[in-house]
Structure 1
Amino acid sequence: MAGVRAASGPGLACTAGNVCAVARTVKRAFKYRFYPTREQAAELARTFGCVRLVYNMALQQALRHLQVAFTNFWAKRARYPVFKSRKRSRRSAEYTTSAFRFRDGELTLAKMLEPLEIVWSRPLPAGASPSTVTVSHDAAGRWFVSLLCNDVIEQVPAPGTGVVGIDAGIDSLLTLSTGEKITNPRHERADRQRLARVQRNLARKEKGSANRAKARLNVARIHARIADRRRDHLHKLTTRLVRENQTLVIEDLTVRNMVKNRSLARAISDAGWRQFRTMLEYRTDWHGRNLVAVDRWFPSSKLCSTCGARADRMPLNVRSWTCRCGTVHDRDVNAARNILAAGLAVTACGDGVRPQRETSRTGRSSAKQENPRATKGIPVL
């Protein structure tokens, strides 16, 4: 897995055929699995404990991480920072350049005599020199090392001027304005019976016993398998969408509020909408694409993408409907087309998309209002 941390300006990269393509230098974290020796695992466990202690006591090394936590809290992106727990907190430690040695493809951490046994599932960029190294130990008992280094990404132009509107859903993971529906793999549902069985087994174990620790590990492994499959699918999906289109339009969904619906929370969490958007954001930035987010209150499902008429109601159980103009709409395809049209309007006019809503100061909408005559006589669905 690779993630983006920071990016610098674009440059030019020329191929052997003297064809120059725009390239972008970004900071990418290349993550690999490794298998520590018994001594290395013990040393890392002590390091994780020190990191937790330093964070909780607000001393020097962890102040930057604590500052980020409070910054996210004040920006309303996270809750108030809490003390790190030995059982529930993520076990990880970050090493700066003075605390590790990377030489000849081998990584040796401070206070360790031998290099880590890393499974190099893919090569690092040529001449890469990691600036920081993060070691983590997940709940499933797996060890990972993440190396942050510079990488040059060629921004290959998209074929033509492709544009696409994307409607996120549950029955279909994504519906495109082209009419294509991408199947929802439902990774959690596929392993739901196995997960329920090991969770029942965990509940029967005595707290604090060795058998309970083994049962907890079995539960964590199934959760890890579900998360890995979901992440892999979203990586491939976002890569394909960014390569095929120059402009992508999505809805600005508030997943945090949507999962409060008990009937849909499990399905929404399994779909990974928030993770999908995060991947789409940094990939469009890498490759010079345009990503437009339409306001969450835009009535994409209620509008007729042919004549612009608006239905008064559109319950979730209505999957297709007929407009007054005679057009029969698939609910999701129609929504994707409306999202695309709204996004292109935002790009062209530079205005927000909030039909039928008023601002608190001016009393006027930030976008054009629909013609009231267009919605007159529309049947209630």
Structure 2
Amino acid sequence: MANKAYKFRLYPTQEQEQLLAKTFGCVRFVYNKMLEERIQMYEKFKDDKEALKKQKFPTPAKYKKEFAWLKEVDSLALANVQLNLQKAYQNFFSGRAKFPKFKSRKAKQSYTTNVVNGNIMLLDGYIKLPKLKWVKIKQHREIPSHHTIKSCTISKTKTGKYYVSILTEYERQPVQKEVQAVVGLDFSMNGLFVDSEGKRANYPRFYRQSLEKLAKEQRILSRRKKGSNRWHKQRLKVAKRHEKIANQRKDFLHKKSYELAKQYDCVVIEDLNMKGMSQALHFGKSVADHAWGMFTTFLQYKLEEQGKKLIKIDKWFPSSKTCSCCGQVKESLSLSERIFRCDCGFVADRDWNAAINIKREGLRLLA
């Protein structure tokens, strides 16, 4: 069995918006209460591990007796809070994330509800959701009939738009395709990537393009009195500018990853530490603008759906220092050198040379 999510725009009525705001607030409240009690429990029994193991963690049902207004919202949304907190703790203890933090009103507003006895269904441009009943939806594509709806995540953006992400489950038997067409991709700060064929992605760098307009809107916002009507209007302008940049970036990455997944049977990339690169080389804005991690995520699931492969080679592999013609490895190569020159007489673009070496290393691992 495999999972796939479909995201659509929601258009709730004014009453439904009020109920959504209540649900977002209740979910945040329960999460913070449960986290607070867990921290207090740990502080009390941290010296006695056996007693700590025997303690029962609080559940959302416990708070409904004290706070009756929690009964007004979807109970499944509150039940999922416990699962989310448990997952946050598991990620912390496994070293994948930091210790769970308390949720703020300024954080992303969302909640998840599950399918129980047909409480969620799609019909004629509307979706039925627990407590909300029928909500208008912009369903721009059909969900296949063999997909079973498992859960829905409702979210609200900073610009006041509502979305629903419908998680479906379906039976998939991917047929592994024979690897014939292979390409290597080298991350490029100037255009996202260069492939082993010499082609560039030519990423437009949407954030850099909008930097002046964004700075102007943010300067105006900084002069407004916080909390006033003019401040809220200007905050919305800044949020819309950021949202447009994010949508442009996501659209470009989806299309580019789709092209690669359609054209090649195997794509080879380097397993780069983008956070470390941005901090060490002071390329924070450029690295964030390119969203290499998002691109590789899109590319991976698009390839897997078609039975194709994404190979990640070691980040310490000297792809840039190795000559793709004779195989000689240079002792040093500064970042400012954009043309690769070898003693054997080979001269090529630095990124293209690296992409060829990445492809060859991927073929070696594949073999």
Report the TM-score when normalising by structure 1: 0.80
Give distance in 2, aligned partners of 1:215 and 1:80. Answer: 34
Name 1:46's counterpart in structure 2.
22
The answer on 1:30 being equivalent to 2:48 is no
SS of structure 1 residue aligned to 2:201: strand
The answer on 1:91 being equivalent to 2:109 is yes
SS of structure 1 residue aligned to 2:131: coil
Deviations 1:304-353 (A, max 9, x none): 011111112211111113201111121000000111111222222xxxxx
Name 2:360's counterpart in structure 1.
341
Identify which of 305, 310, 313 aligns with 2:332: 313
Structure having the larger proportion of residues in helix: 2
Asked if the contact 1:154/1:287 (under 8 Å) is kept, the reply is no
Asked if the contact 1:32/1:121 (under 8 Å) is kept, the reply is yes
Shift of 1:235: 0.8
SS of structure 1 residue aligned to 2:135: coil
Give distance in 1, aligned partners of 2:271 and 2:21. Answer: 40
Equivalent AA in structure 1 for residue 132 of structure 2:
M
Identify which of 92, 102, 111 aligns with 2:131: 111
Deviations 1:84-132 (A, max 9, x none): 0012x1100111113933153431222235x111111111112544211
1:165-184 alignment, distance < 5 Å:
165-184=184-203
Name 1:189's counterpart in structure 2.
208
- In structure 1, list runs of 5 or more residues that go unmatched: 1-7, 9-25, 349-381
Give distance in 2, aligned partners of 1:217 and 1:262. Answer: 33
Give distance in 1, aligned partners of 2:156 and 2:352. Answer: 42
Shift of 1:64: 1.0
1:1-381 alignment, distance < 5 Å:
8=1, 26-58=2-34, 59-60=59-60, 61=79, 62-87=81-106, 89-98=107-116, 100-105=119-124, 106-113=126-133, 115-126=134-145, 128-151=147-170, 161-261=180-280, 263-348=282-367
- In structure 2, list runs of 5 or more residues that go unmatched: 35-58, 61-78
Name 1:22's counterpart in structure 2.
none
Asked if the contact 2:148/2:170 (under 8 Å) is kept, the reply is no
Equivalent AA in structure 2 for residue 95 of structure 1:
T
Q: Using a 3 Å threshold, how does the CA distance of structure 1 residues 127 and 283 change in structure 2: closer, same or farther?
A: closer
Report the TM-score when normalising by structure 2: 0.83
Q: How much identity, in percent, do the aligned residues show?
A: 37
With 338-347 and 300-309 compared, the bigger mean Cα shift is at 338-347
Asked if the contact 1:158/1:244 (under 8 Å) is kept, the reply is no
Highest relative contact order (Cα 8 Å, sep 6+), 1 or 2? 2
SS of structure 2 residue aligned to 1:184: coil
Name 1:366's counterpart in structure 2.
none
Give distance in 2, aligned partners of 1:343 and 1:234. Answer: 22
Shift of 1:153: 6.9
SS of structure 2 residue aligned to 1:100: coil
Asked if the contact 2:268/2:312 (under 8 Å) is kept, the reply is yes
Give distance in 2, aligned partners of 1:44 and 1:201. Answer: 31
Equivalent AA in structure 1 for residue 129 of structure 2:
L
SS of structure 2 residue aligned to 1:130: strand
Deviations 1:250-271 (A, max 9, x none): 0010012122147311011100
